Chains A and B, each alone.
Chain A
Amino acid sequence: MNFGKKDVLKDVSFSIIKGEIFTFIGPSGSGKTTLLRLIDMLERPTSGKILIDGTNVTKLRDRAKIQVRRKMSMVFQKPSPLRGSVYANIAIGLQFRNVNADEISRRVSESLELVGLEGYEERKAITLSGGEMQRVAIARAITTKPDVLLLDEPTANLDPVATEKIEGMIGDLKKRFGITIILSTHDMVQGQRLADRIAVVIDGRIGQIGTSKQIFYQPMNRAVAHMVGVADILDGVVTENEAGLAAIDVNGVRIAAGSGVSPGTPVTIYMRPEDITFYEKDSIRSSARNKFTGRIIEVVPMGPMVRLKVDAGVKLTAVITQRSFEELGLALGKETELTFKASAIHVVERTDTD
């Protein structure tokens, strides 16, 4: 898919299951919005096809196109209130479909109730706050009882309180109506919270699709790993493997990991920084297989957490709570002991293209 000279999406191929919450996560400009727009048929792909419920919608025009589009609804990043009252805004989709006035009135009240804005009918839409307007936009979208609901970064412009309300609403919609929900967000954690399955979109390509566990703990390549906060990425070679427990040599350091990969294979190992635990020197009692001594070479406070870089023969990034940091008496330059489980490591065979 390209706009003029720029290729916005390349080699994209995937399917979405009916009734699931499917999330595209990725940085701004990665192509997530374009994907949603293509699904909603606001744009036509320059090549390839899109099947909705088995119908190839890519070549549809006029009446047929609108028929399919009317089974979907989209909520945009910026709510765009139309002139007039909240009622007028929500009713408009039904008015396009020539639904009678009584039915419209009933459904609008229903939708307002669903989004927690009862009694807002007569308010002028442009006087609402961002969070309220976004809820009206959602009410507007669901009033037409779509099979598919698309949301493009729905909470990107909202404060945390409003965001939480809307996330709750999204989960609710799935439970109550079984709508297929397709969401895009650049907030990793939101993707993790809401989605049944996630697709990581980087630079117009899909890096990986999977459940949040798979994406966040078993990234397939560096690009995806960086995106989801897997900060420890190391290249090494498998030296031994016994019954699924592999020993991997990384720069002379021996790391134990759960993996079936055979000895001699070059691999990349991935680990989340939260999986590293620290101990006071000479006091380790854990059963973890990976025990190292290292020197703290960087300390970055992050609110209630602290991010550390430790040199233990290999450079590792770890995240621990501020409290732990203080209780262990850790500091820049100090030597400390750290461990992580073999099961915390995700091993991927290294190919030259990684």
Chain B
Amino acid sequence: MNEIVEGIRQAIQLIVSLNPEVLDITARSLYISLSATLVASLIAIPIGGFIHFKQFGGKRGLITIIQALYALPTVLVGLLVWLLLSRSGPFGFLQLLFTPTGMIIGQTVLIVPLMIGMTLIALSGVSQTKQDTVISLGATQLQTVITIVKEARFAILGGVILGFGRAISEVGAAMIIGGNIKGYTRVLTTAIALETSIGDLPLAIALGIILLLIALIVTALLFLVQER
């Protein structure tokens, strides 16, 4: 017990003194996950919009598949992207394995299904009457899509925040694709896993506190957005 209390005390010391390793790992986590969230938004929101507004056969089936992909284990995504990026894989020539960029790709793949789903829910939340109102006011197809997306903007933002939350808290893909290389691909989650396993409690706890804070901020933001 003493060891743990001592560990917590040292952890707080590490944070307060702006320990360079802590800062490095935190900054990298945020950089990778925010980038992945941005890229995933640019992919998922238009796709979600397309699925919502267009009529086509097999729509039900597609949506079911997307929903099934929410629960994809992160290690599987990691494995899949690893296979694609490895030297013997189709994108091996890009040499992205064990790089932060590779990790961004991994996290993007992980959260895109979730964000498409959230976008669909957000758009479905706009009543059919409202959509009819916009159409009856003479909107072109593009104008209709933009107006409805604007109406659903807070719910879509909620999906983006949720996506970020998932990206920054996952371990499997970050570990497999990134390799947890100190000073290069080590992020909060992979660092905590490593430091705990070798028994370096203060660093693990410090990073854990930061990750917890980030999670709380994400929750708070979601709450705020849902109020609108």
Would you mind naming 18 contact pairs between A and B with Cβ atoms under 8 Å apart?
Answer: A66-B138, A66-B140, A69-B138, A73-B136, A74-B133, A74-B136, A76-B132, A78-B127, A78-B129, A80-B127, A82-B133, A82-B147, A83-B150, A83-B151, A92-B147, A140-B137, A141-B137, A144-B138
Shortest distance between the CB of A119 and any CB in chain B (Å):
23
Select one of B129, B132, B137, B140 contacting A93, CB under 8 A.
B137
Q: Say how far B22's CB is from chain A's closest CB, in angstroms.
A: 42
Interface string of A43-76 (1 = CB under 8 A from B): 0000000000000000000000010011011101
**Which 3 A-B pairs have CB atoms at the shortest separation, nearest pair first?**
A70-B138, A93-B137, A74-B136
A-side contacts of B127, CB under 8 Å: 78, 80
Min distance, Cβ A216 to any Cβ of chain B, angstroms: 31
B136 with A96: CB separation less than 8 A: no
Secondary structure at chain B's binding surface: helix, strand, loop or mixed? helix
Is the beta-carbon distance between A82 and B135 smaller than 8 angstroms? no
> Cβ of B132: which chain A residues have Cβ within 8 Å of it?
37, 42, 74, 76
B170 to chain A, nearest CB (A): 33
Query: CA of A72 to CA of B130 in the docked complex: distance in angstroms?
Result: 17
* B163-187 at interface with A (beta carbon < 8 Å): none
Q: Which of A42, A70, A82, A144 has the most CB of B within 10 A?
A: A82
Would you give the 0/1 interface string for B113-139, flagging 1 where the beta carbon is closer than 8 Å to chain A?
000000000000001011011111111
The yes or no answer to A153 lying at the interface (CB within 8 A) is: no
Q: Which residues of B contact A40 (CB under 8 A)?
A: 136
Nearest A residue to B153 via CB reads A83
Q: A83-B150, A92-B134 are in contact. List 7 more A-B contacts (CB 8 A).
A: A66-B140, A73-B137, A74-B133, A80-B127, A92-B147, A97-B138, A144-B138
B139 proximity list for chain A (CB < 8 A): 96
Residues of B within 8 A of A82 (CB): 130, 133-134, 147, 151
Interface size band for B: 10 to 19
Residues 92-120 of A, flagged 1 when their CB comes within 8 A of B and 0 if not, give: 11001100000000000000000000000
Contact B133 A76, beta carbon cutoff 8 Å: yes
Verify if B19 is at the interface (C-beta below 8 Å from A). Answer: no
- A residues near B219, Cβ cutoff 8 Å: none
Nearest Cβ in chain B — how far from A65, in angstroms?
10
B143 lies within 8 A of chain A by Cβ? yes
- Taking CB atoms, residues of chain B closer than 8 Å to A70 are 138
- Please give the distance in Å from B8's CB to the nearest CB on chain A: 46
Chain A residues within an 8 Å CB radius of B134: 82, 92
**In the complex, are the beta carbons of A42 and B151 less than 8 A apart?**
no
Closest to A150 in B: B136
A52 CB to nearest chain B CB (Å)? 14
Give Cα distance in the complex from A81 to B13, angstroms: 53
List chain B residues, Cβ under 8 A from A80. 127, 129-130, 133
Chain A stretch 135-156: residues in CB contact (< 8 A) with chain B: 137, 140-141, 144
Q: Tell me the complex Cα distance, A74–B147, Å.
A: 18
Option from B129, B138, B140, B151 in Cβ contact (under 8 Å) with A76:
B129
Q: Which residue of A lies closest to B139 (CB)?
A: A96
Given contacts A82-B147, A83-B151, contact A96 B137 (CB under 8 A): yes
Given A80-B127, A80-B129, are A96 and B151 also a contact pair (CB < 8 Å)?
A: no
Whether B150 contacts A96 by the Cβ 8 Å rule is no
Contact call B140/A96, Cβ cutoff below 8 A: yes
Q: How far is the CA of A251 from the CA of B209 in the complex (A)?
A: 93
Q: Which residue of B lies closest to A146 (CB)?
A: B138
In the complex, A93→B130 CA distance in Å?
13
B138: nearest chain-A partner, CB-CB = A70
Across-interface contacts of A42 in B (CB, < 8 A): 132, 135-136
User: Which residues of A have CB within 8 Å of B137?
Assistant: 73, 92-93, 96, 140-141, 144
**Cα–Cα distance between A97 and B137 once the two chains are bound (Å):** 9
**Chain A residues in 8 Å Cβ range of B136:** 40, 42, 69, 72-74, 76
**From residue B53, how far is it (CB to closest CB) to chain A in Å?**
15
Contact between B138 and A96 (Cβ–Cβ < 8 Å)? yes
Task: For the complex, give the distance between the alpha carbons of A342 and B14 in Å.
Answer: 103
Pair A96/B143 contact, Cβ less than 8 Å:
yes
Which residues from B are CB-within-8-Å of A137? 133
Indicate with 1 or 0, residue by residue over A196-208, a CB within 8 angstroms of chain B CB atoms. 0000000000000
In contact, A93 and B135 (Cβ under 8 angstroms): no
Tell me, in angstroms, the Cα distance from A285 to B139 when the chains sit together: 67
Give the complex CA separation of A73 and B137 in angstroms: 6
Q: Name the B residues within 8 Å of A72 (CB-CB).
A: 136
Least distance between A87 CB and chain B CB atoms (Å)? 15
Q: Which residues of B contact A66 (CB under 8 A)?
A: 138, 140
